[in-house]
Structure 1
Amino acid sequence: MKTDRELQEDVLEELDWEPSVNASRIGVEVKDGVVTLEGKVDSYTEKWAAERAVKRVSGVRSLAMDLEVALNASLSRTDTDIATAAKNVIDWNASIPKDAVKIVVEKGWVTLSGDVPWAFIREAADRAVRGLLGVKGVINQIAISPPVEPRNIKTKIEAALYRRAHVDASAITVGVNKSTVTLSGKVDSLAEREIIEQAAWSAPGVKSVVDNLIVT
């Protein structure tokens, strides 16, 4: 197991390795495997990239994002401009059903709501707006309303986990109660935890996923 000092060094190196992140403006603190990022970034996209970089590092048990999105004048946009741009990119996204997603923008923060049949659509909406100029953060409140009744969810998710590389499916327990999936067990990184959660969301009929996975 890595010491906090070793983990801090690995996180700093991973941030420095990520070309879309200015690592010199980010401070990293680690205590008992919990990583905290502090500082300022130029865009929400950079903040998101920093988060993804840290999740790739083995040994990170949890992550606190205290990064502030400090837009310079050339990147600032009014809430109206952001709302218009967000509507356009969602309307033009072939993965998102027309009029399924509602958008509210306040002080640069974009809130998404509505109902969609699959989790990948919710993620597509999130991905579409987080790279827009002027966005300081995204709150995704889109709900999943499956078009089909859940059937053999447990078997399908377990099969999907065994197909995925870098996932020890034997260490994961999948529990199903109607349309809710509960994941438990141990994983090596936050990135692996995310892969497993995405696999659960891909099963037909899943409405919610409870992630009780522990990063060791």
Structure 2
Amino acid sequence: MVTQTARATATSVTRTDQDLQNDVLDELAWDPRVSPTEVGVTVTEGVVTLTGWVGSYAAKWAAERAAHRVARVRAVANDLTVRIAPSAQRTDADIALAAGRALEWDAFVPVESLEVTVADGWVTLRGPVEWEYQRRAAERVVSRLTGVRGVSNGITVQPTNRSSGDELPERIVDALARSGATEPDRVSIRVYGDTAVLDGLVHSVTERDEVERIVWSAPGIREVHNHVTVTR
């Protein structure tokens, strides 16, 4: 009980940029996928900038997610450079072949509708999927491959079913309440046809992203405009 009270008190206090910088550095050190000695961190008005170099695109993504996990971080600018070690370098043809196979083996990805292009280690994905989780799964799969320097996700969400009408915002609010991702009264949700618009205030980028993920799970949603702001 004492630990929970202390934690609640700490998160209710406005964090300075120096506090956030220290927290991000600690979180990077805590994540075994990231070598914190390679990553520089600066913070300005709650916005974190990551600089330096990492050995893979997967490590770059992991460093970004680590910074996002810190409460009161408003946004992250990921300026990390990917430097592939000679032992991990692959030809574009090898990466394209590996990407195709990895997508085929992922149960969530409709690989038959996707196109993969690789240029100088940079993977570009194109094609339609029905759900946002499929779009994200495809990017996640290829981002972990050895030799990948970056990923451009040009996959579009094209749901086959229309949204459920006027009751859809209420169903989304119910889903938020079930998940505990945030207090439902902190976020407003408006639905215009197949587009959802989000507004409100949350305490972290992770919380903001989770709210967006839940909204994307609503049937018939093709586009989400996330205007939710992270408070300091």
1:192 aligns to what SS in structure 2? helix
Q: Which residue of 2 aligns with 1:88?
A: 101
1:195 aligns to what SS in structure 2? helix
Q: Which residue of 2 aligns with 1:11?
A: 24
1:203 aligns to what SS in structure 2? coil
Q: Which residue of 2 aligns with 1:211?
A: 226
Q: Distance in 2 between matches of 1:92 and 1:16?
A: 32
Shift of 1:76: 0.6
**Deviations 1:45-67 (CA, angstroms, capped at 9, x unpaired):** 11111111111101101110000
Q: Distance in 2 between matches of 1:71 and 1:42?
A: 5
Alignment of 1:66 onto 2:79: yes
Q: Which residue of 2 aligns with 1:165?
A: 180
Shift of 1:205: 0.2
> What's the TM-score, normalizing by structure 2?
0.91
Q: Distance in 1 between matches of 2:133 and 2:98?
A: 21
Q: Distance in 2 between matches of 1:98 and 1:188?
A: 36
Alignment of 1:121 onto 2:151: no
Q: Which of 141, 159, 175 is equivalent to 2:190?
A: 175
**Deviations 1:55-86 (CA, angstroms, capped at 9, x unpaired):** 11011011100000101101111111101100
Structure having the higher helix fraction is: 2
Q: Which residue of 2 aligns with 1:24?
A: 37
Runs of 4+ in 1 over 6 A off after TM superposition: none
Unaligned runs of 5+ in 1: none
Q: Which amino acid aligns with 2:75?
A: S
Q: Distance in 1 between matches of 2:136 and 2:171?
A: 21
Q: Which residue of 2 aligns with 1:199?
A: 214
Q: Distance in 2 between matches of 1:178 and 1:71?
A: 44
Q: Which amino acid aligns with 1:209?
A: V
Q: Which amino acid aligns with 1:189?
A: S
Relative to structure 1, the CA distance from residue 78 to residue 147 in structure 2 (aligned partners, 3 Å threshold; closer, same or farther) is same
Q: Distance in 2 between matches of 1:153 and 1:107?
A: 44
RMSD: 0.9
How do 1:30-45 residues align onto structure 2 when only pairs under 5 Å count?
A: 30-45=43-58
Q: Distance in 1 between matches of 2:40 and 2:110?
A: 40
Q: Which of 141, 144, 160 is equivalent to 2:154?
A: 141
Q: Distance in 2 between matches of 1:136 and 1:153?
A: 40
Q: Distance in 2 between matches of 1:5 and 1:120?
A: 35
Q: Distance in 2 between matches of 1:110 and 1:207?
A: 24
Q: Distance in 1 between matches of 2:205 and 2:149?
A: 23
Percent identity, aligned pairs only, is 44
Unaligned runs of 5+ in 2: 1-13
Q: Distance in 2 between matches of 1:99 and 1:21?
A: 34
Shift of 1:97: 2.0
> What's the TM-score, normalizing by structure 1?
0.98
1:132 aligns to what SS in structure 2? coil
